[in-house]
Amino acid sequence: SQQGEEDPQALSIQEGENATMNCSYKTSINNLQWYRQNSGRGLVHLILIRSNEREKHSGRLRVTLDTSKKSSSLLITASRAADTASYFCATDRGDDKIIFGKGTRLHILP
Amino acid sequence: DTGVSQNPRHKITKRGQNVTFRCDPISEHNRLYWYRQTLGQGPEFLTYFQNEAQLEKSRLLSDRFSAERPKGSFSTLEIQRTEQGDSAMYLCASSLDSYQPQHFGDGTRLSIL
């Protein structure tokens, strides 16, 4: 079963705009991770945020975590064509495996 | 820098045949994971290894599926008597330990005719 659920399912924006994706989950977690997947390829780890952290940055990526609402957001600033991909959140409940959501398909328009 | 390698990249086979996939993890990684991903879905956990020990198997892993990791290095995933529903992308990932992010291979896409 899938723990996380991303919203929206699909998102199209103009190059240069910011993209925001959200993830909601059901049970308490140790950490939450975001991954990117280009079509036909494996997943690439983007960022990990622990349950005691509220915000984390990595380059053009900003991730927030609200454990009281069981939700996280991924913000990509100044989007580029190369950001076109599917983005997945994955939750680690401390039971040695991570559970992925269904993903948000992001399309950057030229 | 060699990442996680999976072979073959694509496998087409007739229903009822057996198939085997191979995963070569990053060399110093102790953990190895197998996932299945269908179109429009996120990866679903199948099983994982700590070195050569298989520590957990998902309910998705029926008795037709078997995974091994001899000597704690590469791993194989075998599906016996394949069914139409087995068509999917099979992803392998490895990590140094349970606290580190997982590194994924590009997967093996299985198509059952």
What is the per-residue pLDDT across B53-82, written as a single tens digit (0 to 9) for each?
988 888 778 899 999 999 889 999 999 999
The C-alpha atoms of residue B31 and residue B73 are separated, in whole angstroms, by: 10
In chain A, how long is the greatest CA-to-CA distance?
A: 42
**Residue B39 φ then ψ, to 5°:** -60, 130
Closest CA to B88 of B48, B46, B51: B46
The C-alpha atoms of residue B22 and residue A75 are separated, in whole angstroms, by: 36
- The answer on pLDDT for B30 being more than 60 is yes
Q: What is the pLDDT of residue B74?
A: 96
Q: Are A38 and A45 in contact (CB under 8 A)?
A: no
% of chain B with per-residue pLDDT over 90: 83
Q: Which of A:30-59 have CB within 8 Å of B?
A: 33, 35, 40-45, 48
CA–CA–CA angle B31, B99, A95 (5° rounding): 80
Chain B environment of A42 (Cβ under 8 Å)? 4, 6, 91, 93, 104-107
The C-alpha atoms of residue A29 and residue A32 are separated, in whole angstroms, by: 7
B99/B103: higher pLDDT: B103
- The answer on pLDDT for B27 being more than 70 is yes
Question: pLDDT band at A2, cuts 50/70/90?
Answer: low
Q: What is the pLDDT of residue B2?
A: 75
